[in-house]
Structure 1
Amino acid sequence: MDDVVGPHGLGQKNERGERLVEWAQRNEVIIANNWFEQPPRMKWTWKSPGDGSRNQIDFILISKRFRNAPLISKALPSADCYSDHVLLMGKIRVKLRKQKRQNPILD
């Protein structure tokens, strides 16, 4: 589980969170939100009606193949999107390499 979920989550995992972690392990993806240390105001992604509680329920999932690509991931609570959910922002580093083409052997 340590290779899927980072140490910087918000709150406790419930049954749905455990199922997400199991799914991520089976499908070889990581949960990018939890790998970056952020203040709590930059972690919560959902606000309950009446502003009673705030939870981290939206995630950025990335293939394990690209686990070094994310540079940062955070919530943007100041963005006004008329929803109880908050926008997520992530920066990734992409390095594309030209593939070497093999010539077919002609007989």
Structure 2
Amino acid sequence: MQSTSDSEDVKVEKFYEEIEKAKGYLKSQDIIIVMGDFNAKVGDERVDIVGPSGIGTVNERGSRLIEWCQINDFTITNIKTTLGDSGLERPGDRNRNKIDYILIQKRFRNAVKTSKSLPGAESD
């Protein structure tokens, strides 16, 4: 019997396989934007795809997301800016997490002026 963690890891890898499959249907000149709840924490350490607005400490899924972005030449748009509002900052909030990301190919990153994910199903 597989443990819950192993089962979740399989789901994560299947997700990345599905993204790769979808990319296979596109032309090289197409702009690809991938967005959603990755349940990943990419942290605040500056790496090629993580900018100054990351939050906290990277987790395993965050490492996997960073690795995928580096291999596929993508960047995370909603943490590359220094707008000051990550969409997660609330007065008195000490436990902030950012797990929703908007990814775009690096060659198109300058086309993105502002990018923001909002927490929760409903937003202010």
Q: Which residue of 2 aligns with 1:9?
A: 54
Mapped contact 2:54–2:79 kept (Cα < 8 A): yes
Distance 1:5 1:27, change over 3 A: same
Larger radius of gyration: 1
> Which residue number corresponds to residue 87 of structure 2?
43
Match of 1:91 in 2: none
- The one of 62, 70, 73 equivalent to 1:28 is 73
Identify the residue that residue 98 of structure 2 maps to in structure 1: 56
SS in structure 2 at match of 1:12: coil
Point out where structure 1 has 5 or more consecutive residues left out of the alignment: 45-51, 88-107
Are 1:65 and 2:114 matched, yes or no? no
Q: Which one has the bigger strand percentage?
A: 1
Count of residue pairs brought into register by the alignment: 76
AA aligned opposite 1:64? K
Identical aligned pairs, as a percentage?
47
> Separation in 2 of the partners of 1:29 and 1:72?
16
Greater helix percent: which structure? Answer: 2
In structure 2, the residue matched to 1:101 is none
Measured in 1, the distance between the counterparts of 2:83 and 2:55 equals 10
- TM-score, normalised by the number of residues in structure 1: 0.56
Within 5 A, what are the aligned runs for 1:75-94? 75-77=117-119, 81-82=121-122
The unaligned stretches of length 5 or more in structure 2 are 1-45, 89-93
**What is the TM-score with the length of structure 2 in the denominator?**
0.49
